[in-house]
Every structure is written in C-alpha cells, then in structure tokens.
Structure 1
Amino acid sequence: MRAIQWKKYSISYLFLIPSFLFIATFLYYPVLLAMFHSFTKWNLVESEWIGFDNFTNMFNDPMFVKGALNQLIYTVTDILKAIIFPLLAAELIHMLGGKKLKYMFRTGFILPMLLPGIVTVLLWQNMYDPSNGLINQLLSVLGLESWAMPWLGDEKTAIWSLIMMGFPFIAGLPFLIFYAAIGNMSQDQLEAARIDGATGWHIFTKLHLPFLVPQFKVVIILTIIGSLQDFVKILVMTQGGPGDATINPAMLMYNAAFGASQYGYGSAIGIALFLIILVITLFNMKFLKTDY
C-alpha cells in the first residue's frame, strides 16, 4: 500500500526537494556550523579547538552578566507591553457601537505593521535627540526645561528610554490576536451575563480573561523569543552604551563577531540564546498546550 502511495505522489515529492535543500543550506547548516565553531577560537581564517572555553569565558564575563540582567528587564517589560496595551485597545474597540468606527480604529492600529521596524527606531532616536528632539522641545514649551536631558546618553535613563520606545505599545500582532479572540467569544454567554447584572468589569475578569488564556500563552512566547533576538534598536540608538547600560546578549554576540572578529565566542553566545529559545518553545509545546 505504501509503495502504491509513493508511486502516486513521487512527482510531488520531487518538487519538494528544492525547498528542503534551501532549508538545509540556509537554516540548518548555519546552525550546525555555529555549534561547531562555538567550541573553537575562530577568526574566519584560523580555527582552533578550545572546548568549552568560550562558554566558560561567557559566563565569567562581567559584560555578559550585565547584558543578561538588562535582557531580563527588556523581556519582562516587553511582555507587559505586549499584553496590557494591545488587550486594552482590543477591548475598547469591541465596546464601540458602529461597525465602521470599529473598522476605522482597527485599521489605524494595524497600519503601522506595514512600516519597516527601522523607521520606528530612527523616529524615536530623533525624538530623544538632546538638542532638537521632540521630547526636550516639548518639555521646554511646558516650562520644564530642568527635566530635559540626553535621554540616550545618561546611564540612568538610557535603558528606560529604549523600553519606552513605541508608546503607547499597541503592537499590531498581539492586538490582532486579542481582537480576533474577543470577537469569537460566545455572544449568548455575554448576553446571559449582562441579563444577570454583570458589569463591564465582571465580564472582563470572569469571561474575557479566562477565555483569552491561550492567546496570552502565544503572545508571551512570541514576545520572549522576539526580545531575546532583538538588538537592532540597541545597535542603532545606543550601541549598548553609555558604558554597558543598554547592552544585551544579542548585542554582545554582534560585537564579538563583527566588532572584534571573535566568531567562535560570538557563536557561543548565539548557541546559548538558541538553547534558551529552544527550551522555552519545548516548554510551551509540552506543558502549555492549547486547543486552537
């Protein structure tokens, strides 16, 4: 039977071979190569096997420890931003009366997804400019010149300035996930709750939140993965500075590989991030199963 099926679909399988080759060449091979070179001292010209020295140096590196602590702050705040504000926006839009009004606001929140991320980064970089930036100019107009400062140049404010990028934090993908889930809720349950005298707060806490648990899990996992991989905004806006105030492991990996030509050490940091993401993904698949 299997032989018959193989003959029937053999041509279809042949058409899949180019896709598998591309995946193996541009996805799996680089990962395997990075795994190998994470155990070497490699500068693209010479490769010397040094075992676990790169990983030992990584965990003994004060810069990596600082980057890991910064990453914890980034990740926690990213999760809060990805849940609270998009969920609030989705709830408020669903409370609107007319379909046209809902469509207008929904489209308005989704449109920024069409912009390249670097555009947002450069926009906020200009807003934080200490001389002509919008934030300091606005403080000057309000008579609060004493509050003006080099937001990205001060160790006390640099990391929080990066965290505040994108305010009011209504990211398109989490917003769509929450909005779609709320729209798929049983209207009969909602009407029954209103007839029983449930207020908007009770409907939100007793019906909406429990129903949205699968969506929370998806958004949290995607946010953690994105946060661990993100270094573009840090590279463009602060390059990890001032000092090590905004550094994170992904930025350290970039600096080691492309700044100091320590490709083996950079590979070790990349493999460490890969393993963290892999563990989180497996944990989500194993223990946080959802019915969607």
Structure 2
Amino acid sequence: MEKRWVQMLFILPAFVIFSVFIVIPMLSSFYYSLTDWNGLDPDVHIVGFKNYKTLLHDSEVWISLKNTLYFAILVTIFQNVISLVLAMLVDGTNWIFRFLRVLYLIPALLSALAIGYIWSYLYNPIFGIINTVLTDMGLSNLTQDWLGDPKWSMFSVVFTNIWQWTGLSLVIYLAGLQAIPADMYEAADIDGASKWKRFVHITFPLIAPSFTINILISIIGSFKVFDIIYVMTKGGPGTTTESLAILLYKKAFNFNEMGYGTAIAVVMFLIILVISIIQLTILRRREVEA
C-alpha cells in the first residue's frame, strides 16, 4: 500500500493539471451548452436543448459543416498520399535524404499563425510572389485572387495546410518503413516481384499502424482547424472557407452567444468522437488482417 501511495503521488501533479485544463472545461462545456449565457453576464439561465434545436435549423451551421468535411477530405487524402510518396523517396541513409527529412519537417515546427501570414502575402493578387512568378513566365492568364475568389479560396487554404503538416506525416510513415525487415524485400527480389507488387504486398500492409495514426491525426486536425483559416480568410469570402471552429468563435466571441457557441463545440466533439471510433475500428481491423 505504501508503494502504491508513492506511485499515486507521482501521478497526482499530472492528474491535477489534466483535470483543471481538460476534464473540468470539457464538463463545463456540456453545462454551458444548455444555457443562454453571453459570456459576460454572471447570471446564467438554463434553456435546455434550445441551442441544439436552433443549431439543427441554422443554415450557417450546415454550410460550415459542409466546408469542414470538404476540407477534411481534401487534406486527409492529399496529405497522406504526398507524405507517403515522399517518405519512400527519402527512405535512405545518404546525407541528402537526412537533409530532406529535416527540410520537410520544418513547416510542422512553425506556428500556424506565422505560416498563415506568410502564405497570405504569397497569395496576394497584387504583389504576391505566386502571381508575380506566373506573370514573369508569361502565364498572366493563370493569375488569380487566390484567397478572394470563392472558386480558389478553399483550395488555397487546403494547400497551405498540407504544406505545413506533410512533414509530420512523412516522419510517421518513415518510421513505419524503416521498421520493415530488409529480408522481406530480399525475398521478394528473389521471387522476381516488381516494385509495385513489393509495395502492395509488403510495404502497404506493414505500414498499417502508421497509416492508422496519420489518418486519425489528419481527420481530427482538419475538423478542429481554426488558426490558419482565420489568419488567411477569416472564413471568407462570404462563408466559403468558414469551418465549424470559425463559426464557433464568431458566435461565442463576436456575437457573445457563448451558450450557442459552446453547443457547436459539443457537436464538433461528438462528430470527431464518432468518426474517430469508426475510423479506428476499420483501420485496426485492417492492421490485424495485414
């Protein structure tokens, strides 16, 4: 018992911090989602599920949900495909490969706010580098108002997000690739297997855990996306790039509808929870089969 109490004392500081900053705010969010609190008034009135009923009939919520799903699908697919390809290309011991790994990882270490501001300047239709380069190359017909045109704004934000986080996914895939025993590839070479067959029958099945982690991180990160969109477009033009997190922020802090904004946060949490459980179930089953 004495040994157990000592162990509990070591765990206690982390448990207190986790409870104060994670558990208590999470539980209070469920409570405030049932109120009409404006975030400032000390008086809080319980309104039951009124916020959730309003939410179901709010067209802006559905537009934001559609934008978030669209963003999540694009980011998850392209980020994982690109990072897997790059991981296979830099999977070597040469110093050039090591240098490239570090280079690809740097954006993931930078602040999303800084990256958002940098890419906003790059996308600027007047003095941005992208349009300037296109014009200098004689391709002025391809210049766009990348963040101001509803046709291009979402793609521009998605590209920036992929650019930032591809390096992190690459590192996870690279860890999976380097854990594959070399003798499996040697056996495949003896059997005369092509590179594609080696990938399909050896590489892809054996990096299943890396695949599960990356897909899960991409989905959760995409559904919570706020900072990079807020810096670059603030959800515009109109509501073209407005995510659920952006809408939550506007309702809670711009319009002082803290109760309604918290209800949106709870719905986000439930959506992410359900998708994560389904995803883990499917991907874990694939890992076992692999």
- Alignment TM-score, normalising by the size of structure 2: 0.91
CA contact (8 A) 1:109 1:170 kept: no
Q: 1:286 to 1:165 in 2, by over 3 A?
A: closer
The corresponding residue for 2:54 is 57
CA contact (8 A) 1:86 1:170 kept: no
CA contact (8 A) 2:124 2:145 kept: yes
- Alignment TM-score, normalising by the size of structure 1: 0.91
The corresponding residue for 1:3 is none
The corresponding residue for 1:281 is 276
User: Structure 2 residue aligned with 1:263, among 250, 258, 272?
Assistant: 258
Structure 2 unaligned segments of length 5 or more: list them: none
CA contact (8 A) 2:176 2:209 kept: no
Compute the displacement of 1:247 (Å). Answer: 0.7
User: Structure 2 residue aligned with 1:80, among 77, 80, 84?
Assistant: 77
Compute the displacement of 1:284 (Å). Answer: 4.6
Alpha-carbon separation, structure 1, partners of 2:7 and 2:110: 37
Q: After superposition, where does 1:93-172 map in structure 2 within 5 Å?
A: 93-94=90-91, 98-165=93-160, 171-172=166-167
Letter in 1 for 2:141: S
Matched position secondary structure for 2:36: strand
Alpha-carbon separation, structure 2, partners of 1:273 and 1:100: 44
Does 2:231 match 1:236? yes
User: Structure 2 residue aligned with 1:36, among 15, 20, 31?
Assistant: 31
CA contact (8 A) 2:101 2:167 kept: no
Alpha-carbon separation, structure 2, partners of 1:277 and 1:167: 20
Alpha-carbon separation, structure 2, partners of 1:194 and 1:17: 54
Matched position secondary structure for 2:45: strand
Alpha-carbon separation, structure 2, partners of 1:284 and 1:170: 20
Q: 1:231 to 1:54 in 2, by over 3 A?
A: same
User: Structure 2 residue aligned with 1:185, among 180, 184, 187?
Assistant: 180
Letter in 2 for 1:50: V
Identity among equivalent positions (%) equals: 32
Compute the displacement of 1:166 (Å). Answer: 5.0
Matched position secondary structure for 1:224: helix
Matched position secondary structure for 1:40: coil
RMSD: 1.9
CA contact (8 A) 1:128 1:152 kept: yes
| Greater Cα shift, 233-242 or 162-171 | 162-171
Compute the displacement of 1:196 (Å). Answer: 1.6
Does 2:249 match 1:254? yes
User: Structure 1 residue aligned with 2:221, among 200, 211, 226?
Assistant: 226
The corresponding residue for 2:190 is 195
Matched position secondary structure for 1:203: helix
The corresponding residue for 1:89 is 86
Structure 1 unaligned segments of length 5 or more: list them: 1-5
Alpha-carbon separation, structure 1, partners of 2:124 and 2:64: 24
Kindly tell me the number of residue pairs found equivalent between the two proteins: 284
